[in-house]
Chain A
Amino acid sequence: MDKVRFGHSIVPYLFLLPQMVVVAVFFYLPAGEAVRSSFFLEDPFGFSATFVGLDNYADVLSSAEYRRVASFTVWFTALVAFFALAIALLLAVKADAVLRGAKTYRTLLMWVYAIAPPVAGLLGILLFDQHVGPFVAIASWFGWNLRIGVNYYDTAFAMIATAVWYQVAVNFIFFLSGLQSIPRAVREAALIDCRSGLRRFFTVTLPLLTPTAFFLLVINITYALFDTFGLIDLMTKNEPGNNPVTLVYKVFLDGFRGNDLGGSSAQSVILMIVVFALTVVQFRFMERRVHYA
């Protein structure tokens, strides 16, 4: 049944107004400005601008570097989302299963959430430092010459590890609450129907967690795409060089750091379109398969 609602009057508009105003002024205006400037090549100080049509887009899309960054972004996003979700899920399932100390674990596991991304990045660079980083030392025990900043893949590894580390806490919190809202009787029914804990997990618990997982997937993709910005900035030490960066960071590099307004606006617009498409796909196709308990 549809939600019972109040009739239509001036009230909803009044309630909506503040957010709409803020969104319009601080989101749509700037976003519109970004779209506009993606068609221009503009002197950063605003003295002059040349209309170049779709040139900025053409330049961006034909750039091999842009494609490399795009494909890294896809991998990065997929891997970060996957590991952050998987590790958090494992921990949440275990924290939900143990009877003793559940609350302690919960506290220990969730408070990393409170750390600022730049701080997380700072810890990341120190831990992965080529010369004195403990993780590099640990890796060398296994014969892995981990060289962050030198080797593209090693840097990618460190970025992903740090990004995952930071995101696990949030996912953990949500998964734990998701688990706790699965009806107890259903889990007990599964206990009777199925001996293997692993099988039980994959056939009953996981499907029932899909609403949470779906929501988290959206959050994690957004996180990996956008919120890892500060972390990448720190881990590449502001000098990306041959290190992997994501699309958003590239927008920042070209626009904020390099003052190429037209080029970075074009990239922003491309990004918007991609994310919008992604969101529509997520909502259309995935939510349909989600099981709401």
Chain B
Amino acid sequence: MSDAVSTARPLAPASHRPAFKWGPVFDHAILIAGAAFMLVPVFLAFMTSTHDAVTIHTGGVQALPGTSLVDNYATVMFDGLGFSGAVNGTTMMLNSMILGLGFAVGKIVLSMMAAYAIVYFRFPLAEFAFWAIFVTLLLPLEVRILPSYEIVQSMGLINTYTGLIVPLVASATGTFFFRQFFKSVPDELIEAARIDGAGPLKFFRDILLPLSRTMIAAIFIIMFVYGWNQYLWPTLITTNEDYFTLVRGIKQIIQVWVGSQIPEYGQAMALAVLAMLPPVIVVVVFQSWFIKGLTESDK
């Protein structure tokens, strides 16, 4: 045995072709099937939205493009809907956006603060507060909608964005997520921060908030989609057409009493496709953060 520098044995260069594996092919087949399962309905929705109402009414969903694409989309985007004629697809989208954003932001702010208090402070009511908030997971708004309406009304919040958004915020999902996440933040950071002279507020602002960015992104997506998709509450709580949202617009187009008219299916589908867009964009754009936020919170 000697100090051979790189002992290359005098052999013919090893030529070995890797064997073909069926496993990955099978995996891809399943994934493609899954993707089709998820996407075909959406594809059909889009194709259907390019047809006129009668075709859809008599022929159902359409797999091939029709001729009414521009018509349908232009109508829903720019033609006035409702009495004032002031609401069209664009303004409804704006309202949906306000609802989605307001809800997501409100939820994140409130639940993050609450979770911070619960996780990072030792105080007599912490446990109680957690359960008091957690219990709100148990009863969806639909089930307590009438009393909720009365309370919102008695506070004079009918036809306001506040009345639209705040009652939806009264549930624990966000708090729950943030609590899990905060528990996974290393203790040393808060210790280092305390030694660095950061009090509770500074720690929250300077350390925890920036650290939670991916988690915030994940929750933002979840909440934005949720808020964007609300229907029943906005219908009940607003009487002013200025507050129409896309989802409500869709419902209004489809809803026709006992078939005396054919619903504008094409327009409804066009609106539905439009209604999908912003959340889809949000999800697709933020998906890496989303996954990362969830992965980190699992640790």
A:1-60 near B, CB below 8 Å = 1, 3-9, 11-13, 15-16, 18-20, 22-23, 25-27, 29-31, 33-34, 37
- Hey, what's the 0/1 contact readout for A76-110 against B, CB within 8 Å counting as 1? 00000000000100110011011111000111111
- Whether A211 and B298, one on each chain, are in contact in the complex, defined by CB atoms closer than 8 angstroms, is yes
- Whether A117 and B284, one on each chain, are in contact in the complex, defined by CB atoms closer than 8 angstroms, is no
A15-B116, A118-B250 known; A279+B60 contact, CB < 8 A: no
Q: Within 8 Å CB of A25, what residues of B?
A: 151, 170
A:228-280 near B, CB below 8 Å = 229-230, 248, 251-252, 255-256, 261, 268, 271-272, 275-276, 279
In the complex, whether A205 has a CB less than 8 A from a CB of chain B is no
Which segment of A65-73, A166-174, A188-196 sits at the interface? A166-174
B:1-60 near A, CB below 8 Å = 23-24, 27-28, 30-31, 34-35, 37-39, 41-42, 44-45, 48, 58-60
- Whether A3 and B119, one on each chain, are in contact in the complex, defined by CB atoms closer than 8 angstroms, is yes
- Residue among A7, A9, A123, A272 making CB contact with B138, cutoff 8 Å: A272
Once bound together, how far apart are the Cα atoms of A107 and B34, in whole Å? 12
B:103-127 near A, CB below 8 Å = 109-111, 113-114, 116-126
Q: Within 8 Å CB of A176, what residues of B?
A: 291
In the complex, whether B295 has a CB less than 8 A from a CB of chain A is yes
The residue on A at minimum CB distance from B229 is A116
- Whether A126 and B120, one on each chain, are in contact in the complex, defined by CB atoms closer than 8 angstroms, is no
The residue on A at minimum CB distance from B116 is A15
Smallest CB separation, A227 vs chain B (Å):
7
- Whether A117 and B30, one on each chain, are in contact in the complex, defined by CB atoms closer than 8 angstroms, is no
Q: Within 8 Å CB of A97, what residues of B?
A: 24, 27
Q: Within 8 Å CB of A181, what residues of B?
A: 295, 298-299
- Whether A3 and B183, one on each chain, are in contact in the complex, defined by CB atoms closer than 8 angstroms, is yes
The residue on B at minimum CB distance from A226 is B140
Once bound together, how far apart are the Cα atoms of A111 and B281, in whole Å? 9
- Whether B34 and A91, one on each chain, are in contact in the complex, defined by CB atoms closer than 8 angstroms, is yes
Once bound together, how far apart are the Cα atoms of A91 and B35, in whole Å? 9
- Whether B294 and A123, one on each chain, are in contact in the complex, defined by CB atoms closer than 8 angstroms, is no
In the complex, whether B287 has a CB less than 8 A from a CB of chain A is yes
- Residue among B126, B142, B275 making CB contact with A12, cutoff 8 Å: B126
Q: Within 8 Å CB of B23, what residues of A?
A: 197
- Residue among B58, B60, B136 making CB contact with A126, cutoff 8 Å: B60
In the complex, whether B86 has a CB less than 8 A from a CB of chain A is no
The residue on B at minimum CB distance from A275 is B138
Once bound together, how far apart are the Cα atoms of A173 and B191, in whole Å? 34
In the complex, whether B268 has a CB less than 8 A from a CB of chain A is yes
- Whether A3 and B139, one on each chain, are in contact in the complex, defined by CB atoms closer than 8 angstroms, is no
Once bound together, how far apart are the Cα atoms of A118 and B232, in whole Å? 11
Q: How many residues from B make CB contacts under 8 Å with A?
A: 99
Smallest CB separation, A110 vs chain B (Å):
6
- Whether A111 and B251, one on each chain, are in contact in the complex, defined by CB atoms closer than 8 angstroms, is no
A111-B283, A116-B275 known; A16+B117 contact, CB < 8 A: yes
- Whether A256 and B276, one on each chain, are in contact in the complex, defined by CB atoms closer than 8 angstroms, is no
Once bound together, how far apart are the Cα atoms of A110 and B290, in whole Å? 11
Once bound together, how far apart are the Cα atoms of A79 and B199, in whole Å? 50
- Whether B272 and A31, one on each chain, are in contact in the complex, defined by CB atoms closer than 8 angstroms, is no
In the complex, whether B207 has a CB less than 8 A from a CB of chain A is no
Q: Within 8 Å CB of A226, what residues of B?
A: 140, 142-143
The residue on A at minimum CB distance from B155 is A25
A:275-292 near B, CB below 8 Å = 275-276, 279
Smallest CB separation, A149 vs chain B (Å):
15
The residue on A at minimum CB distance from B169 is A22
A23-B170, A87-B34 known; A114+B225 contact, CB < 8 A: yes
- Residue among A12, A19, A255 making CB contact with B133, cutoff 8 Å: A19
The residue on B at minimum CB distance from A22 is B170
Smallest CB separation, A271 vs chain B (Å):
7
Interface residues of A (CB under 8 A from B): 1, 3-9, 11-13, 15-16, 18-20, 22-23, 25-27, 29-31, 33-34, 37, 87, 90-91, 94-95, 97-101, 105-119, 122-123, 126-127, 129, 131-134, 165, 168-169, 173-174, 176-178, 180-181, 197, 211-212, 222, 226-227, 229-230, 248, 251-252, 255-256, 261, 268, 271-272, 275-276, 279
List, sorted by A's number, 9 A–B pairs whose CB atoms are closer than 8 Å: A15-B116, A113-B283, A117-B229, A122-B269, A123-B41, A180-B291, A271-B143, A272-B139, A279-B138
18 extra interface residue pairs, beta carbon distance < 8 Å, beyond A8-B121, A111-B284: A6-B122, A23-B170, A26-B148, A26-B166, A31-B144, A87-B34, A95-B31, A115-B279, A118-B229, A119-B276, A133-B60, A173-B290, A177-B291, A177-B294, A222-B137, A248-B143, A268-B144, A279-B137
